[in-house]
Amino acid sequence: MPVPVVEFSDERLANGLRLIVVEDHLAPVVAVNVWYNVGSKHEEPGKTGFAHLFEHVMFQGSAHVGKAEHMALVQGAGGTLNGTTWLDRTNYFETLPSHQLELALWLEADRMGTLLDALSQENLDNQREVVKNEKRWSYDNRPYGSWNEKILGHLFPDGHPYHHPTIGSMADLDAASVEDVKAFFATYYAPNNAVLSIVGDCDRGTVRALAEKYFGPIASNPSIPPLPDMSLPAVLGTEIRETVEDRVPLPRVYIGFRAPAFGDHRLDALDLASQLLSGGKGSRLHRRLVRDERLAQDVAVFTLPFVGGASVCIGWATVRPGVDVATVERAYLEELERLATEVPSDDELDRAKALTEADELGALARVEERADRLSMFATLCDDPALINTLLPRYLAVTGEQIRDVARLVFRDDNRVVLTYVPKPAGDAAASGEAAA
Amino acid sequence: MSHRGELVAERPVPGTPRPYEFPHTVRTTLPNGLEVVVTPMPERELIAASFAIRAGAADEPDAVGGATVLAARGLTEGTELRDAIALTEAAERLGASLHAEAGWDATSAGLDVPASRLAAAMELLAEVVRRPAFPESEVERMRDERLTDLIQARSDPRRRADEAYVSSIYAPSSPYHRPAGGTAETVATLTSAELRAVHDRAYAPARSALIVAGDVDADVVLRAAEALFGDWTGGPSADAAPIDDTSAVTGRFVRVVHRPGAVQTEIRVGHPGLTRRHPDFHAVSVMGAILGGLFNSRLNMNLREEKGYTYGASAGFDMRRGRGPFTARAAVNTEVTIPALGEFLRELDRIRQDPVSDAELRAARDFLVGVFPLRFETPGPVAGALAGLFVHRLPHDELARYRDAIEAATAEDVLRVAREHIHPDRTAIILVGDHDAFAGALEAEHLGPIEVIRDPEPVQVAPGAADEQAGPVDAVDGGPTEGAEDPDLPGTEDPSDPGSDAADDVAGIGTGA
C-alpha cells in the first residue's frame, strides 16, 4: 500500500523567504502555510508567553488590513484559518477555494511586512485579556490542567528554553508592552526566518510569481540572534516526583521522560513504541491496565518532538475508583520495562506499522496537513523531503531498535512522576491562577 | 521599519472559481431494505466505510437510558466469531481502526481503510454489526468505565455546564433532559441482555445504510454489500415513535453551579431549538453564523475582540430528529461574569430587533457557500454527510442544493427566523463558577429566579460507590450526523487541547467554548 510521493519545489526568494510548492488539482482547494522559526524557546526571562501573545497580535491588523479583518476576509472567501504557537515555532495557515489563493498571500505578506503600522496599545491590551482567558480555559480551570507546565518544568532545568510553558505566566503576560511587540517583530518576523508552503490546486510558476510580487519587497533581517546552546544530558540523572492536589475526583499519574531530539532515528522507534504501548484497544497498556486488571480508566503514551537538545515522551493513567495509585504506577512502569527487555513480535510490530501507514495516508490526503508538514520539516530540520522519507523510516524500524530505545528512555533515573490526587474535602481554594 | 519595502496595498480580486459539485453518488436499495450508498472519489486511496442505523439514544426507553450508546460501543467488544482483542488485531492488520458509536439520532460503525484492503474490512464491519456477542465481562467493564466517566464529568466545568444546561431546558419526560449515554441510575442497571435487546429491537437492514466513499468501484462495493448483508432479514422497519422534546423553559431563570475559587465562569444561555428537518434550516444556518458561528460573529466580536472577556464566544443550533438545543456559550473570567451575561442577552435581543447588515449577510453566506468544497476534500466527511442525509431522511439532492439555498437567504429571512427561533425572554441561564464572586451583581440584574447548586467536593470514591457520586453528565455526542450540516461550522472544535502537539492556538476560531 504505497503512500503517494509528494512532489514539491523548494527555493528561496532573494530576501531569504523559503518557498515550497506542491501542485495537486484533485480538489479545488489550496493551503497556504507560514512557519516562523520562533517559539516560546526564544522568550527571555520575564517575558514568558510572549511568542503566543504576539501570534494573537498578528490577527489585529497591518497596514492595509483592519483589526480582525484577516479572519473576516478569509472566512468570507470560504476559507478556514488559524495560527498556533509551540516551543520551537509559530505557524499561520489558511485553506481556501483555489481561486482565492492570492488573497491569503496578500494577507500573510501584509502582516509580515507591516504589522507595526497597525499596532496599538488598545489592541495589545485586548488580546492580552483574550490570552489570559485562554490560559484560564485551557489550563487553570481544567482538571489536571497544570500537567504540561509541571512536566516540562521538571524535564528541562531552570534556565533551559523549554523549561517554561508556551502559554506563559499571568505576571509576564501583564508585563508585555508595545515596545516588546516592536522588538520581537523586528527580530524574528523576517522573510529569511520563515517558510511559506503552498499546496493544492495551483500552478507552480504562477505561485512563484505571486510570492515574488507580495513577499519580494519585504526586507530580510541579517542579524537574527542565535539561540543559546540547548544541549543537555540525554537522561535526567534522577527520578523527580511531585504530588499535586487538584479539584479532581480520580487520581491520575503522569510519567514523563527525556527522549531523543526530533530528527534522530531513535525517536522514530520511540514513536512506534508509543503505538505498541497505548495505540488502541490491542495495545499493551490498554490491554493490561484498562481491560485485564481494570486498574485504569484510560492510558496514554505519546512523544512531543522538539529540536533543541531533547524531545519528551509523556504518558498517563487515570486511576479507577478505589484502586491504589501505586499499583497503577507499578503496572504501568512494568509494561514500559518489558518493552525495554523483550523484542516485540513481528505481528505486533506489523500491526503498528499498518496503522501508522494508514494514518499517514489519511493525513497527507489533506492539503492543509501536507503544507504544514512541509513547513515543519523545512523549519525544524532543513529537510522538507522528510515528508516522503519519514514514513519509510518508520516502516524500517526493527523490534531490536524499539527495545533499545525503550532501554535508553524508560529508565528510572530519566523520569518525572507527577501524581494528581483529589484535594481534601473542605479545602475550597481552587488550583489555578496561583500556579501562574 | 526602514528595512521593510513597499508592499502591494490593494487587496487582490479573486480569480474564477473552479466549478465544484458534490461528488456523484450511487444509491441502491437491496431487497431487504438496506440502502447502499457509494461515492467514488478517484485517487482518494483511504476509503471511508460507515454503517449507519436509524437507532439513537432518543429511541430507547428511559429505564434503560444509555443502552443504545453502550450497545454501539459493545459492537467492537467481541462477536460470535472472535473476542475483542482478536477483532482489534484483525482490523489493525488491515491498517483499519474499527469504531462504533451512537448519538441521539443514530448508531454507526465504521472504519477508514486503504483501498486494497476494503473487501476484508467490509467483512469485519458486517461481522460487528450483525453478530455482536456483548460478552458479559466486557459489558460490565464498559458500564464501570461509563460510571467513572460520569464522576469525572462532574469535575470538568465545561461538561458540568453542558449537563446542567440540558437538564434545565428539557422537561423530565424528554430523553434530551439527560445524557445520551445515560445517567448513573440507569447505566448501573445495564447488562448484556439489555444491549442484546437494543440490537434485536433497533438494528435492522430496513433502517440502515452502508456508505462507502473513496477510490472505489460502485459495482464492486454493491456486490460486496449484497454478499455480506443480503441475507440479513427481520427486525423492525417501522420508524420509532416521535421524540418527546418538550421544553422546560417557560420564562427566564438562572441556575448557578457553585465552584468556589473558580477563575472562570462557564456560561450557557438558551432553550430548545429546532429539528434538522425544519424548513428554516438554511436561513437559520446563516443567522447562526452571524450571531455566533463565524469568527467575526456578533458574539465573538463583542465579548472577545472588543471586551476581552473570553477566549471565544459562540452560539449554535444542535439540530436533531427532535428539537435539539440552541446554545450560546463562553467561558469568561470570573470578575466579568455579569457584564458578559448582559452582552449575551443584548446580542440575543439585537438579532431579533433589526435586519442584519448587508456586509454581515454576505460574510455569512459567502463563508457557508465557499467552505463547502473544503469540507468534502476527503472521503470521511463525504461519508459523514451522506449518513446525515440518511438518518434524517433528507432528499438525495439536499447537498447539491445546499449552496443555492444558503445564497437565497435574505436579511428578512434572517430576521424572521431569529424572531421565530430565539427567545431571550424564555431562556435558561447556566453559570458554573464562583457564585460568591458575583452573587450580588447577579441578583441586581433581576434576570429571573436564581437557584444555586452546590456540588459536593470531589473526593476519591470507594469501589462500588460510583453510582452515589455520579450525576447525569453528557459525554456522548456525534454519531453519523456529526459535521454534516452544522449551521455553525467552525464552532465545534476544541481550540487548544494541551494534550495535542499544537499548543495555544490563536484564535480559537469561532471557538466552541
A354:B92 CB<8 A: yes
Residue of A nearest to B150 (CA): A249
Residue B237 banded pLDDT, cuts 50, 70, 90: low
Residue A1 has a pLDDT of: 58
Percent helix, strand, coil in chain B (nearest 5)?
40, 15, 40
Residue B456 has a pLDDT of: 81
What letter does residue A163 receive in the DSSP assignment? S
State the virtual CA torsion across A350, A352, A356, A361 in degrees, nearest 10: 50
Classified as helix, coil or strand, A436 is coil
Per residue in A18-71, pLDDT tens?
Answer: 999 999 999 999 999 999 999 999 999 999 999 999 999 999 999 999 999 999
Provide the shortest C-alpha distance from residue A413 to chain B (in Å). 24
Residue B199: how many CA atoms within 13 Å on its side-chain side? 20
Answer whether residue A14 shows pLDDT above 90.
yes
Q: Which amino acid is at B108?
A: S
The length of chain A, given as a count of residues: 436
Answer whether residue B479 shows pLDDT above 80.
no
Per residue in A355-368, pLDDT tens?
Answer: 999 999 999 999 99
Q: Which of B3, B7, B141 is best to mutate for the A interface (most A CBs within 10 A)?
A: B7
Answer whether residue B466 shows pLDDT above 70.
no
Q: Can you state the angle between helices B84-93 and A346-364, rounded to 10 degrees? A: 60
Residue B28 has a pLDDT of: 98
Residue B239 has a pLDDT of: 63
Q: What is the mean pLDDT of chain B?
A: 89
User: Quick one: average pLDDT of B65-74?
Assistant: 98
Classified as helix, coil or strand, B81 is coil
Q: Which amino acid is at A377?
A: F
A71:B296 CB<8 A: yes
Alpha carbons B359 and B204: distance in angstroms, whole number: 48
Residue listed under C-alpha cell 452560539: B315
Classified as helix, coil or strand, A194 is strand
Helices first, then strands: H and E counts in chain A: 15, 11
Answer whether residue B128 shows pLDDT above 90.
yes
What letter does residue B13 receive in the DSSP assignment? P
Beta bridge partners of B138: none
Burial of residue B70 (CB within 10 Å: 0-12, 13-18, 19+) is buried
Per residue in B104-126, pLDDT tens?
Answer: 999 999 999 999 999 999 999 99
User: Quick one: average pLDDT of B373-380?
Assistant: 96
ipTM, 2 decimals? 0.95
User: Quick one: average pLDDT of A202-227?
Assistant: 97
Answer whether residue B236 shows pLDDT above 80.
no
Beta bridge partners of B210: B36, B51
Residue B222 has a pLDDT of: 98
Q: Is A185 left (phi over 0), alpha (psi -120 to 50) or beta?
A: alpha
User: What is the value of pTM for the model shown?
Assistant: 0.93
Which of B150, B52, B170, B166 shows the shortest CA–CA distance to B105? B52
Residue B238 has a pLDDT of: 62
Which of B148, B153, B152 shows the shortest CA–CA distance to B164? B153
Residue A78: how many CA atoms within 13 Å on its side-chain side? 24
Work out the percent of chain A whose per-residue pLDDT is above 90.
Answer: 96
Concatenated DSSP letters of B72-108: HHHTTSBBSS-BHHHHHHHHHHTT---EEEE-SS-EE
Answer whether residue B510 shows pLDDT above 90.
no
Check: CB of residue B331 under 8 Å from CB of residue A133.
yes
Alpha carbons A352 and A399: distance in angstroms, whole number: 11
User: Quick one: average pLDDT of A379-389?
Assistant: 97
User: Quick one: average pLDDT of B308-317?
Assistant: 98
Who wins on pLDDT, B241 or B151?
B151
Residue B270 has a pLDDT of: 98
Residue A385 has a pLDDT of: 98
Partners of B261 on chain A (C-beta within 8 Å) are 428-430, 432
Which three three-digit cell numbers place residue B263? 477563575
Check: CB of residue B267 under 8 Å from CB of residue B430.
yes
Q: What is the mean pLDDT of chain A?
A: 95
Q: Is A290 left (phi over 0), alpha (psi -120 to 50) or beta?
A: alpha
Q: Give the ranges where A27-120 is alpha helix by DSSP (H).
A: 50-57, 69-76, 101-114
Residue A371: how many CA atoms within 13 Å on its side-chain side? 28
What is the helix (H) or strand (E) element at residue B358, kind and residue range? Answer: helix B358-370
Which three three-digit cell numbers place residue B238? 417501522
Alpha carbons B366 and B362: distance in angstroms, whole number: 6
Answer whether residue B507 shows pLDDT above 80.
no
Q: Which residue in the set B3, B92, B370 is minimally distant from A219, CB to CB? A: B3
Range from A67-76, A88-97, A118-127, B498-507 carrying the lowest mean pLDDT: B498-507
A82:B458 CB<8 A: no
Q: Which of B138, B257, B263, B468 is best to mutate for the A interface (most A CBs within 10 A)?
A: B263
Sheet of A194-200, strands arranged across: A9-12, A18-23, A194-200, A29-36, A90-97, A80-85
Answer whether residue B50 shows pLDDT above 60.
yes
Answer whether residue B1 shows pLDDT above 50.
no
Partners of B17 on chain A (C-beta within 8 Å) are 28, 97, 99
Chains A and B form CB pairs within 8 A to the count of 352
What letter does residue A91 receive in the DSSP assignment? E
**Residues in B 402-431 with any Cβ partner in A closer than 8 A:** none
Answer whether residue B495 shows pLDDT above 90.
no
Answer whether residue A211 shows pLDDT above 80.
yes
Work out the percent of chain B whose per-residue pLDDT is above 70.
Answer: 87
Residue A2 has a pLDDT of: 67
Partners of A79 on chain B (C-beta within 8 Å) are 370-371, 374
b/e sequence B92-118, b meaning 16+ C-beta within 10 Å: bebbbbbbbbbbbbbbbbbbbbbbebb
Provide the shortest C-alpha distance from residue A239 to chain B (in Å). 23
A134:B311 CB<8 A: yes
Beta bridge partners of A46: none
Residue B485 has a pLDDT of: 26
Check: CB of residue B293 under 8 Å from CB of residue A116.
no
Residue A4 has a pLDDT of: 83
Alpha carbons B244 and B35: distance in angstroms, whole number: 28
Partners of B7 on chain A (C-beta within 8 Å) are 63-64, 109-110, 113-114, 214, 217-218
Within 8 A by CB and 6+ apart from A160, the residues are A230, A232, A309
Answer whether residue A200 shows pLDDT above 80.
yes
Who wins on pLDDT, B153 or B235?
B153
Alpha carbons A115 and B287: distance in angstroms, whole number: 33
Residue A302 banded pLDDT, cuts 50, 70, 90: very high
B367/A contact by beta carbon, under 8 A: yes
Answer whether residue B503 shows pLDDT above 50.
no
Residue A427 has a pLDDT of: 53
Residue B481 has a pLDDT of: 26
Strands B264-272 and B325-333: antiparallel
User: Quick one: average pLDDT of A222-247?
Assistant: 96
State the virtual CA torsion across B402, B406, B407, B409 in degrees, nearest 10: 140
Q: Strand locations in B54-106, DSSP E?
A: 99-102
Within 8 A by CB and 6+ apart from A8, the residues are A20, A21, A22, A374, A384, A387
